[in-house]
A and B are shown apart, each in its own frame.
Chain A
Amino acid sequence: MRINCPVCGERDYTEFRYGGDASKPRPAHGTRDMRAWYEYVFVFENPKGPHREYWQHVMGCRQWLVLERNTATNEIAKGKAS
């Protein structure tokens, strides 16, 4: 799998670490609503198909990216720095 890092260019996926689901916004710091945190931390769609997710270029620029990856085919659409 190749990942296009906006900073470093096309690199092998082994230079990155997967960072989880990126399809939901994080509740603002100080949010006291337990349900909001519960939904954010524990509830995921797990789609078979396109999935927005975080990756970090740990062996490179250490930039966190948001990628759209197809979980069935591992095709990665263009990513952007988050």
Chain B
Amino acid sequence: MTRGPFRLVSGGRIDRGARVNFSLDGRRFSGFKGDTLASALLANGVSVVGRSFKYHRPRGFLSAGAEEPNGLFTLGKGGYTEPNVPGTTTELIEGLTARSQNGTPSVNLDIRSLYGLASPLLAAGFYYKTFIGPRRGSWMFYEPFIRRAAGLGRGVHEADPDRYETRHAFADVLVVGAGPAGLSAALGAGRAGARVVLAEQDSLLGGSLLFESPAGGAENWRRQLESELESLPRVEIRRSTTAFGVYDGGTVALIERRDHLKPDPSRGEARQVVTILRARAIVFATGATERPLVFPNNDRPGVMLASAVRSYLNRFAVGCGRRAVVVTNNDSAYATAFDLAERGIHVSIADTRRLVPSELVGRARSQGIGHFTGAVARKANGGRVVKGLEVMVDHDIRALECDLLAVSGGWSPAVHLTSHNGVAPRYREDIFAFVPGGFASGHFGAGALMGDFTLEGGIAVGFAAGRSAAATTGHDRPTGEPPAAPQIGVADCTIQSHWPSPDGIRGKAFVDFQNDVTVKDVVVAHQEGYQSVEHLKRYTTLGMGTDQGKTSNINALALISSLREVGIPVAGTTTFRPPFTPVAIGALAGRAIGQHFRPVRRSPLHDWHLAHGATMVEAGQWMRPWYYSWAGTTAESAYIEEMRLVRNAVGISDVSTLGKIDVQGPDAAEFLNRLYVNKFARLPIGKARYGVMLNDDGVVLDDGTTTRLAEARFFMTTTTAQAGEVMSWLEFLLQTAWTGLRVHVSSITDEWAAMAISGPKARAALERALPGQDLCDRRLPYMGSLETDLDGVPLRLIRLSFSGELAYEAYVPADFGVALWEKFLAAGESLGMKPYGLEALAALRIEKGHVAGLELDHRNTLNDLGLSKMAATDKPFIGQILGQRPRLRSSERWSLVGIECLEPGKRLRGGSILFAPTDKLEGHGRGHITSVTWSTVLEKFIALGLYQGGLRHAGEEIMCAFPLKGEKTRARIVSPVFLDPQGERLRV
């Protein structure tokens, strides 16, 4: 429903030469460049722009800024959809598509306004008292309906095609807010020579100066400052940029919206940019937000904040109505009345105060503005549009007709950012408002934020704060004085409190517009015992909407204080936390999405695997070949073929991801001896040894194979997953604890490609690849090593086996990895050699009972893993003492067992919970399965697991439960070494 057009024929800071077309709910409208969505809609006479959250009352714009509670829209289509966007801060751009929210079928005619009839049942907290029966668990029946009815806008499930970025920046001085105080601060800091960032959430600089007519002195002052700031090379001005959080150490998060630049994601242009800015000093000039007055029906479309009416009038040349009433408890709203009258709009003023400054009364009279003092607002009339205001003047009730009601209940400094560090704001009785409670060193405040509503004060203090901020960063060039303050309409702001009172209210007097919280709701909550401001907030949901209570918090606080009969400072405020205004999660994620969520690490052989039919899998940060197409088309079938190849012939696998550490120095052997549970001090040169290391608490940290290359040089390997942890641990020990040891450690994981050649024909394959190299058992025994070269490229061979077959690990500098790999494959081709992947690699070691990552979960001791015999008894090692704690040696601990499936046709699953046959299948059971595979040799499913009492129960039947799939499978406890327990196949 529209009334009028309200665009004035002249004035405003809009570009009348640039028409902008947009649509709302499918209807086409137009506005001008410089409009917001709100100003363009108001100009077109659109008054109902949404329906309220609970009662579905028609709502119009209350404000002209980020504090807007009512005018929220869903913008865009498809993957670009964005719900709950305030129209007041949305720059109008060509082609903008907006949809109003929460009205079925439309906000003009909403069926759910019938909820209003049920409003006594829908008071705050109603869902805590209803939806309880008839049974326990009935809530889950009601929940989907309530969920669908809740909220305002709707999100979409399509991927967002837009691009978002996160950047980092540094500055000497950050100035937050470009109103008169902020502009002055930036000027002071900039002239002093500091590197300044000036962040302004609006698209124009000026703040409260933008309320003033563009034909006055304020506009000249604004432009003068803007142009000088633009001319200073070390001052960076960021418009459309909101500072949304202040963090430790002067770190501030900024978000810049770039829709007006029409970013093209296909060209890498970002729609929103989050900047993490580290500022050495900060000047906060965030200004103040106007509060509404609270009286019945104060939420009707056409009821707006007085400064918003002025903003629409002077900045956007929109009249908003034909007959206005200004109701106020302070001076500032008079400027609105004077400006409206000047534009030919009929206006009267109802002032709640009895005593009003005489200049204001005089000027009102001279402009023919009707004026009432001691006028208390009783209620507003109207439905889809306000029709009038009833006031009580000296016990007389007067009805003032209007279609625009400008309300002002005072101003609340925007103390959010200055309170993010936990310093609570403090109340000032003289202005009935909170101001910042204190500043960290290097942080300053100026202007309306500090409770100073005068222009001269804001400019002077702002300029001084900018200079001080610059000085703290070592910049103190002479700055002169700021340009003199311009003359504006109403200079000061004396105010008399007029807080909402529960007495005598009939009808709905809204305290929080967005969440439909009325005075009655607050009173009821108080009566029910929710009296502390934190409880009251959550029980009534006051201040919990997207506007975070910017227009409601202080009014609510005053109401709570009067109900509790304490002063406002005693009632306190709730905690301020970032973000100051809603920030899209996508913007915070920036580029760290999809493949870029974390680094991807690739083996030197990665491309070869892809080119030869490997299906890759993520293993931590690494991409590893899972299985190869030569072996099969699915993971389940392929690994079995690959296993068979290794057990019967020979296979080659890429193990480059293993952690590798070079350990050098005269004390290297001693170092390893202290680190590992088993002995390394006298490891012969050229020999390798499997080692296990513990944490200080006696729990297994990692395992690996370490080879002695020379007297003072070792080559250590770790598991893939723990490589980084172990490296840091070694550095910690050497740098903090054992500083006397002469040892150097270097991470060489990425320097060497590594491949395992495994199977009964492994030696034959190597002999063909390295003709002339003696590889017989005597020359290269089990756990021996050999350094040689291949066509001049260093090659290190270590004979060790993860699979239980005759096997070698070959190491070559990473750049030669592919060449060596292909050489091995060519040499082994006639023996049937083929590559095998991670699944087969894991399956083979499970058959041999080797522990790996799934067993080394930092909860298991040597004992638990059946490795206690490895521990030396005659030398100390890390974790030795705490590993002897009695509880860690209890025979009731869960320890390593093998498990074989007793039900052919059924399978075992990793993570299954293990029970004794007579146990009830509930709770944590007696253990769990850690690793599972199909055994090609035994032709059944086998597993490794942890079971209470361990191998004491060998031979006993157990039950494996997998509740997620409702499976129960009978199995038996056996030795974890399923094949070749004597290790004969290793030592041929």
Contacts and interface: CB of A to CB of B under 8 A. Distances in A.
Interface of A: 1-2, 12, 17, 19, 22, 26, 29-34, 37-38, 40-42, 54, 56, 58, 62-64, 73-75, 81-82
B731 interface: yes
B884 A82 contact: no
Nearest to B878: A29
Contacts of B674: 29
Contacts of B724: 58
Interface centre among B278, B724, B881 (most CB of A within 10 A): B881
Nearest to A20: B732
Given A1-B249, A64-B732, 8 more contacts: A22-B736, A29-B876, A30-B876, A33-B881, A38-B882, A40-B696, A64-B731, A74-B249
A34 B876 contact: no
B882 A37 contact: yes
Nearest to A81: B735
Interface string B874-897: 001010011011000000000000
27 contacts: A1-B249, A1-B251, A2-B278, A12-B168, A17-B728, A19-B732, A26-B736, A29-B674, A29-B738, A29-B876, A32-B876, A32-B881, A33-B881, A37-B696, A37-B881, A40-B696, A41-B696, A41-B697, A41-B882, A42-B697, A54-B732, A56-B728, A64-B732, A64-B736, A74-B248, A75-B248, A82-B736
B737 interface: yes
A17 B727 CA distance: 13
A82 to B, nearest CB: 5
A26 B884 CA distance: 19
B732 to A, nearest CB: 6
B736 A54 contact: yes
Contacts of A82: 735-736
B876 to A, nearest CB: 4
Given A1-B248, A2-B278, A74-B249, A56 B885 contact: no
Dominant secondary structure of chain B at its interface with chain A: helix
A57 B680 CA distance: 30
Given A37-B696, A37-B881, A40-B696, A2 B736 contact: no
A82 B733 CA distance: 11
Nearest to A38: B882
B278 A58 contact: no
Contacts of A63: 735
A64 B885 CA distance: 30
Contacts of B737: 26, 29
B886 to A, nearest CB: 10
A15 to B, nearest CB: 12
The 4 closest A-B pairs by CB, nearest first: A74-B248, A30-B876, A64-B735, A82-B736
Contacts of B731: 56, 62, 64
Interface in B851-886: 876, 878, 881-882, 884-885
A41 B728 CA distance: 18
Nearest to B440: A73
Interface in B657-698: 674, 696-697
B125 to A, nearest CB: 35
Contacts of A42: 697
A36 B900 CA distance: 44
Nearest to A42: B697
A56 B735 CA distance: 10
B743 to A, nearest CB: 13
B698 to A, nearest CB: 9
Nearest to A3: B249
B41 to A, nearest CB: 44
A31 B881 contact: yes
Interface in B728-778: 728, 731-732, 735-738
Interface in B237-280: 248-249, 251, 278
A58 B314 CA distance: 56
Contacts of A12: 168, 278
Interface centre among A12, A31, A56, A64 (most CB of B within 10 A): A64
B566 to A, nearest CB: 29
A64 to B, nearest CB: 4
Interface in B700-733: 724, 728, 731-732
A25 B885 CA distance: 22
A30 B876 CA distance: 5
A52 B885 CA distance: 29
